[in-house]
Structure 1
Amino acid sequence: MAKAKQNSLSEQDIDHLRAELAAGRPPVVWFTSAAVGVEAGRSAKVVAFSEPAEGDFIQVRPTGEKDDLSFSPAELTVEKPAPRKRAPAKPEPAAATAGAPAAGLAPVEHIYTPAPAPAPAPPKPKPAPAPAPPATAPDRRPAARKQAKPAEVTVTLTSTAEGEWTVDVQWGAKRTLKAAPVAASAVSQAAKLLPPEVDEAVESVLSAARERHLARVEQLRAELEAAQRALAELTG
């Protein structure tokens, strides 16, 4: 009997799996006959989704293994395969009793005079057996496995009008750092190790911030001097 074809993952199935994984409940899937390197019907747990969602972007860990592998929606299903039925054992035929008479019949005795045995014919030479073909060793090479693709990392630096800097880190589908403050001096040093266009853009922001802070310092210095003169007149 032909095995029923399992349905691959639909868009609704993928959304459901993402929601379960985000809730901290790694969902279980099964491999279809289109999966490469694993047996159809075997189970696995979904551990991550790669971005963008193209090709083999679903990372799973097969049951009983420690490695994470990547597969496409066509190679996975949420439908649990039916358990395999074992073929019933065939009964062994009862051994016939040599020389036993048929049921219900009495044995018949034959009285005869034996004839002289003929002279045996000379034995014919036996043909030499054909050489056996060389045994072929079975192919024990393991099936090729798909290694999980590393998640992409995106680092974003953001500046404010006051010259303050923050950094965001996006690791695959998860944001691991959001708007963390970074010293302007550290940004300047890092920019000098990157292409000139990056250093030029960062330096322009830092220069504008220096000018604004310098003007503010001059303004505060003038206000301080005016306040000191007024204080001197009041105490003079």
Structure 2
Amino acid sequence: MTQEQPPRRSSAALSAADLDHLRAELAEGRTPTVWFTAKAVGMEAGRSAKVLGFTEPAEGDFIQVRPTGSQDELSFSPAEMTLTKPPRKPKAPAKPAAPVVAEPWIPPAPPEPVSKPRADAAGPTESAGKRPARAGSGARRVAKPSEVTVTLSSTADGEWTVDVVTGKKRTVRSAPVPASHVAQAAKVLHPDVAEAIQAVLDAAREQQLARVEQLRAELEAAQRALEELPS
């Protein structure tokens, strides 16, 4: 015997029996699924939704649902939904990959022959095939060096500074120089220059020694005055 299959439902709108079935499902704590028909406003036909409840009176858009993929609760009429699940849309066949056509290999062109310059007729004082280079051709131009003036200056306290003028531009202005460096440079300069610098260094040294002696005497006097004061 051949078992009879239950008749398939068409994608018709929800009937009164369908509404009773949905109410029974909700009463048992289940959330039945319905699908939108082509009459559903703002919804794609075939999209599913979960039934959440019914409003009273049962007129107009009284079926509350939540469309799949949405968190909104919307109301629809029975004509906009069905219990029939729509068939799956067939997948579009994959496009075959385009065949890869290898480009033909073309050998590189042979290099062009380098033509040799024709030798000029040799003159009475020139060898054949050679021409004397003109004066100045290919010669590298060398920049003319600028004049540099270096000036050492000293103060009455024995402090030294240096100024440098390159051409007409002052590149270093009153840069301090230690007296020890000046003394070392004086040794390799002209004797008259070294003698003049040494005289200034000696005078500055005498001045600083005198100042040290004076400060030392003042310190000793202050120390004696401190010792005479009662503690």
Q: TM-score, normalised by structure 1?
A: 0.40
- Structure label with greater radius of gyration: 2
RCO higher in 1 or 2 (8 Å CA, sep ≥ 6)?
1
Q: TM-score, normalised by structure 2?
A: 0.41
